[in-house]
Homo-oligomer: A and B are copies of this chain.
Amino acid sequence: MPADPLPPLHLSAPASTVDRIVEELRRALFAGEITAGTPLREQALTDAMGVSRSTVREALGVLVAEGLAVREPHRGVHVTSLEAEAVHDVVTTRVVLESAGVRAWADAEPEARARVRAALGAFVAAARAGDDPGRVTATHLALHRAIVALTGSSRLLGLADAVYAEIRLALAKVDRMRRDAPQQIANHEELVALLESGDTAATLAALRAHLEEAAESMLLALELDPDAD
């Protein structure tokens, strides 16, 4: 008998230069060192980071694919900025995508449901601990993502990710200045409780209300935002 067939192991490849550039840009974005709307010039980044323009271009492509930046032909790449109108549009989109997840709750894989519960737990823990605000935002988004994942569709999840990427920056700002963490926790706990209850209509209503309220907070955060605190 062969001893152990070896447990499944996986080795993460050493980060490529492109990955490191993307990572650094992401960090600067979320830290607020690069504000919304700022153009990301290829030559400037090339000089600043000591890599070739080809590599910078590829990194910018990744950022654009993630929705954190936008590319306009012959005009360059600039950091995604949310207009008020866009915020409402995002709400409409999120309502559609996440409602699909809510409707799928009953027929969803048990693991998918378990992942929603786990995501809720992680979010509550992070929000209660009041750690790293970035971590709160990440777990918050992860919860909403898990709801979309209830549909079991990788494409829907991908579409949702595109939307989340767009609002991640604004949401991070909201989470950073939000004083009502307990209220947020309660809202999400209620949402999941409604899901578990099986009352789809009520859940949908609560979801829509929650998303619209979140949009309000985002608009507020975006407006009364001179710069550093």
Contact = CB atoms under 8 A, between A and B. Distances in A.
A101 to B, nearest CB: 9
Contacts of A93: 153, 155-156, 159
7 contacts: A54-B54, A61-B65, A65-B65, A89-B154, A159-B159, A159-B162, A159-B163
Nearest to A54: B54
A16 B73 contact: yes
Interface string A32-71: 0000000000000000000000100110011001010000
A159 B156 CA distance: 9
A153 B58 contact: no
A65 B89 CA distance: 21
5 nearest interchain CB pairs? A96-B100, A65-B65, A92-B153, A93-B155, A159-B159
A195 to B, nearest CB: 17
Contacts of A57: 58
A86 B158 CA distance: 13
Given A16-B73, A158-B67, A92 B151 contact: yes
A159 B67 CA distance: 12
B158 A96 contact: no
Contacts of A96: 96-97, 100, 151, 153, 156
A67 to B, nearest CB: 7
A107 to B, nearest CB: 11
A16 B73 CA distance: 9
